[in-house]
Amino acid sequence: MEPALPPRESGRFVAERSRDVFVEKEGVHRAAEMFYSLRHSEDLTASGWRKANPLAPAATSDQALNWVFVVDTMNFSFWPEGEEQQCEVTYKGTTHRGYMTLCAAITRAMGEGIAITDPEYFSQMSMEELEHVLRSDNATLMPMLQERHRVLTEGGCVLLEHGGSFRSFISQAGNDAQKMVELIVDKLPSYRDETMYEGKRISFYKRAQILVADFWGIMEARGEADIPNLDCLTMFADYRVPQALVYLGALRYTDTLTQALKNGELLKCGDSREVEIRGCSIWSVEQIKEHLHKLVQERDGQMCNINSAVIDFYLWPYAKRHHKEMAHIPIHHTRCVYY
């Protein structure tokens, strides 16, 4: 089997052939202008990681690295079947939904004395134990519990084979971001986010790249963020950020695709429309980054070190903050372990 194109090249490949999703140059430039105005903001640095992960343990603790591994390994498919069917987790008086239910549940379990960040424990934990850890405040369970159990125990076994912690596992990549992504994808099947499109094997590696970016965020908080090749990371192709890109005018869906999504059609993993949404999202952010770097060079006479991962770090909470204004833009839904 031929190796998959890396995410950036996959994004370009898809964008050049897409029939239902298009990268819009004018919208890309407007988005780049927005990021130019924010170029000195902490929100566009890795140090913004703590703000985006308020439920994580202190970054100075190695437990934070294992927490990130546990959360990122189960970081997929939180969307509810209906608005009235939302899994909810309350922690210290705050009720969380979506991705934050997972963060809250893991941190809640730690407070209850459950060794949920210890690979010795989570590599062997039972389905019933994970159901207890991820329990909801209401009758709506977190989706895909069996899949979450499978990938977490699998991940724990891999860590035990490589030193017993995420830090020891990832150290095999020599602190190089690209090698880290390759290592994760090679050793952890649930992170192998690949598919076929127009006769070519392509990749998105959403969760693998997030895991590397989160590792970077923790090391940045420790003052140890000397990680080469971070620019190899693309945006993390999910279902929330594409909505923000459409809202900003950097992406455009055909009327046919928009109507299908508004009608609630579920897209299977590997459906050409699903692939085009994710691939064009990657290429859209690459174009935003490129134009932003050009603006900084032309106007400020400086090099710009804002990468695609940082742009994604900004866009995901941006989409959450502006969800009412974006309500008319449908989100695509695909049940899978990749995002």
Closest by Cα among 224, 220, 197 to 278: 197
Closest by Cα among 171, 180, 176, 229 to 209: 180
* Residue 145 CA to its chain's centroid (Å): 19
**Marked catalytic residue, from 43, 238, 271, 312:** 238
Instruction: Kindly give the residue spans of alpha helices, DSSP state H, lying in the chain.
Output: 7-15, 25-37, 49-52, 62-73, 99-111, 119-122, 127-133, 145-161, 166-170, 177-187, 206-222, 241-247, 255-262, 272-300, 308-321
Report d(CA 161, CA 163) in Å as an integer.
6
Report d(CA 203, CA 262) in Å as an integer.
27
What's the half-sphere exposure (Cβ side, CA atoms, 13 Å) at 75?
A: 24
Report d(CA 18, CA 198) in Å as an integer.
10
Cβ–Cβ < 8 Å for 339, 277: no
Q: Is 22 helix (H, G, I), strand (E, B) or coil?
A: strand
Catalytic annotation present for 72: no
Report d(CA 318, CA 254) in Å as an integer.
24
- Which residues are the active-site residues? 238
